[in-house]
Amino acid sequence: MSEVNLDSGMHRLRYLGLLLPYVGLLATWDLAANLGATLFWFALALLLLGWARRWRPVPSTLAILVTAAALRLLLLLLPPTLSGDVLRYVWDGKVAGAGFNPYELAPAAPQLEPLRDDGWNDLDHRDVATVYPPLALTLFGLASRFPLPVLAWKLILIGADLVGCLVLCRIAVARGQGRGAALWYAWNPLVVLETAGMGHVDALGVCLVLVVVWALAVKRDAATAALAAAAAILAKLVPLIMIPAWLRQSGRPWLFGGLAAVVLGFAFAPVFVPAGGVPSGYVRFGSSWEFNGPIYEPLWRVFDAAGSRAIGESVLERLKERTGEHDYWNRFYLWNYPRMHARLLLAVLLAVLLIRAWRRQEPETATGLGFEAMLLCSATVYPWYLLWLLPFAALECRAAWLVLCGSAILAYVPQFTDIPLMPWIFLALWAPYASIRLVERRWSGS
């Protein structure tokens, strides 16, 4: 198949057309304050992506990467109005660079008062210590040394993201799909917005996960896969859920596991040893963060309506009477509330879904199903969390995953308007995915 000639006038017009919604987003500037315009330009970008996916001949790898870079550079200067996470990245890097431990000291700690600047006033959750792993923190520190740290971080992230796009093209070609499948990720407005626009670290982890899949599925290189897996976990903890599958798929589990364990051990020792266990930020995030969980949101409401707290109290009282261990069972009252009941049930469901995913032979299929399970069972699902699923939606051509990645931006509506999440925004976001997924499952069995 011939490749697109970038000198052709028609093709130049095509590529210029793709840039239009991103110019619109840049002109909108404050995306949170102008959410209607943001949703309009995002929807237009999705429509143009669907049109581009039908181009014949398929763009070359160079054209895919050059266009992906252009889209990202257009949004590079956007202020982080939809999410302030990038401000926290820079702060944590600044704290580490000054010789303090961001895993022990939250931004509000009095010891850090000399470091406070204008950006400190805009930080969210100033009472929570960092939750970001060592590799991410190291790169935050690197970016914080530049005069424009947010811009420096975004450039680092864009570089990693473009590497991920290249690796995704290589995987798609090796699978016999052709590089065109990578367009669903490389030119996807969700990726561009959350990476270049809002600067979310997830894109770094996704890039490294793609290297893991490429090393396992294409190169059959267990050592490279192990090092990339460790680096992905050190960027964000999400890929931990896939270690059992990758161990088996590597063909050399002792080599894979040994290398990954050594790297992770050396990297995390300075994190866990001073804290005497799991750092407080991780505990706080895991136990109290919640927003837009697809099963969690309706489930805890069902438990609340059913009186699960009263049922739990009754069970605990009976256990105390039968065992006589009042002090032992009293500690469980702290966990006896509907939201925690929902979290515990979802932990069991996640284990079941992950075991099913781990049994798949193809690394790309197993990883996609694993990340889908993580999203379904999470109490918190922000739009940028979908970046973990999107490369595998592209490779697997799963309509439900692609639709979900398109509707994810609706999660910003209740955050910046008076419209509540439940029920209509929640249904608009999750119902199309659920409907298509049920049909896909009926026909494919996965």
Per residue in 170-190, pLDDT tens? 999 999 999 999 999 999 999
Q: What is the pLDDT of residue 442?
A: 64
Cis peptide bond prior to 274, omega within 30° of 0? no
Residue whose structure tokens are 């210029």: 16
User: pLDDT for 327-372, tens place per residue?
Assistant: 898 989 988 999 999 999 999 999 999 999 999 999 999 999 999 9
3-state secondary structure of 291: strand
- What percentage of the chain reaches a pLDDT higher than 90? 85
Q: What is the pLDDT of residue 446?
A: 60
pLDDT beyond 90 at 324: no
User: pLDDT for 218-262, tens place per residue?
Assistant: 999 999 999 999 999 999 999 999 999 999 999 999 999 999 999
Q: Give the 3-state secondary structure percentages of the chain, helix then strand then coil, rounded to 5.
A: 75, 0, 25
Q: What is the pLDDT of residue 305?
A: 97
d(C-alpha 213, C-alpha 200), whole Å: 22
Burial class (CB in 10 A: 0-12, 13-18, 19+), 58: buried
Q: What is the pLDDT of residue 417?
A: 96
Structure tokens at 140: 């935050």
d(C-alpha 229, C-alpha 260), whole Å: 7
d(C-alpha 129, C-alpha 93), whole Å: 12
User: pLDDT for 291-317, tens place per residue?
Assistant: 999 999 999 999 999 999 999 999 999
Q: What is the pLDDT of residue 2?
A: 42
23-31 long-range contacts (CB < 8 A, ≥24 apart) are 23/74, 25/74, 25/75, 25/78, 25/193, 25/197, 26/74, 26/75, 26/77, 26/78, 29/78, 29/79, 30/79, 30/81, 31/78, 31/81, 31/82, 31/197
- Beta strands (DSSP E) in 4-153 are none
Task: Domain ranges for the chain, please list them.
Answer: 293-379
Average pLDDT, the chain: 94
Q: What is the pLDDT of residue 6?
A: 46
Q: What is the pLDDT of residue 287?
A: 80
CA distances from 105 to 95, 101, 110, 143 (A): 9, 6, 9, 20
d(C-alpha 401, C-alpha 271), whole Å: 35
